[in-house]
Amino acid sequence: MTNQRFRQVKRLISVLIFTLVSVCCVQTVSYADTTDSSVYGSGSFGDCDYGTCTITLTDTGVPTLTVVPTPTGACSVQSDTVSVLTDSTTGYSLTMTTSTTNNAMQGTTTSLATSSGTSGAPVTLAVNTWGYRVDGLASFGTGPTTTQSSGSVPSVTFAGVPSSSQSSTQVASSSSPANPAQDTKVWYGVCADSSIPVDTYSATVVYTAVTN
């Protein structure tokens, strides 16, 4: 069975004062599913007739993340809710990477590195880095993560978003249909001190949802 893939691109922009903005556009690639191997173009897959087992990926819009840097560093945290809808009886997998081989937030003359943590071994956000976390996923812990603006280093841990040349990181999955749509709250955090030039820093994150 060929799975179905749905991709969403989100541009994350960080400005000093930091503003993390997500701009959404979508690109779809459609495949057909069938459990009837003897007759091409017939059969069904769970609740989906041949060729209709689709998957849809949406999010809540544009999260804004603002940081007023201090000499020792200040951190802000904001969330984005990603929703997956599919009638596939085997469920789906939701992953993400950055859109390029460089996963730092790029400014005019310098950049903000992604966190050194991974979902299996997340770490506390370091100054002048950015990262993500999903409460209850892998080794992130249950949290709860909360929104903050120009506060202290969060007590919860974060991971770096992999670049496009690395293996994608899973942020959600299901082994059963997601109808109604299943929501995943992805938290983004950024920390900065006053050594970072005032500038616009940006990265692009690509979410991909695939039926299992």
In a shared domain, residues 82 and 149: yes
In a shared domain, residues 70 and 116: yes
Task: Give the range among 17-26, 94-103, 113-122, 150-159 with minimum mean pLDDT.
Answer: 17-26
In a shared domain, residues 119 and 206: yes
Of the two residues 207 and 146, the one the predictor is more confident about is 146
Task: Give the range among 52-56, 84-88, 186-190 with minimum mean pLDDT.
Answer: 52-56
For residues 121-129, give the mean pLDDT.
Answer: 96
How many beta carbons lie within 10 A of that of residue 156, not counting itself?
20
In which band, very low, low, confident or very high, does the pLDDT at 202 lie, cut at 50, 70 and 90?
Answer: confident
Q: Does the pLDDT value for residue 32 go beyond 50? A: no
Confidence at residue 198, expressed as pLDDT on a 0 to 100 scale: 78
Q: Does the pLDDT value for residue 92 go beyond 60? A: yes
Confidence at residue 98, expressed as pLDDT on a 0 to 100 scale: 86
Confidence at residue 54, expressed as pLDDT on a 0 to 100 scale: 82
Within a domain: 19: yes
For residues 26-42, give the mean pLDDT.
Answer: 36
Do β-strands 111-114 and 129-133 pair in parallel, antiparallel, or remain unpaired?
Answer: parallel
Looking at the structure of the chain, the number of domains it has is: 2
Which two tokens mark 85? 């809808």
Within a domain: 50: no
Confidence at residue 42, expressed as pLDDT on a 0 to 100 scale: 41
Domain, as residue range, for 206: 55-211
Q: Quick check: 5 and 29 in contact, CB under 8 A?
A: yes
Of the two residues 56 and 7, the one the predictor is more confident about is 56
In a shared domain, residues 24 and 59: no
**Average pLDDT of the chain, as a whole number:** 79
Q: Does the pLDDT value for residue 12 go beyond 60? A: no
Cis preceding linkage at 154, omega within 30: no
Confidence at residue 199, expressed as pLDDT on a 0 to 100 scale: 77
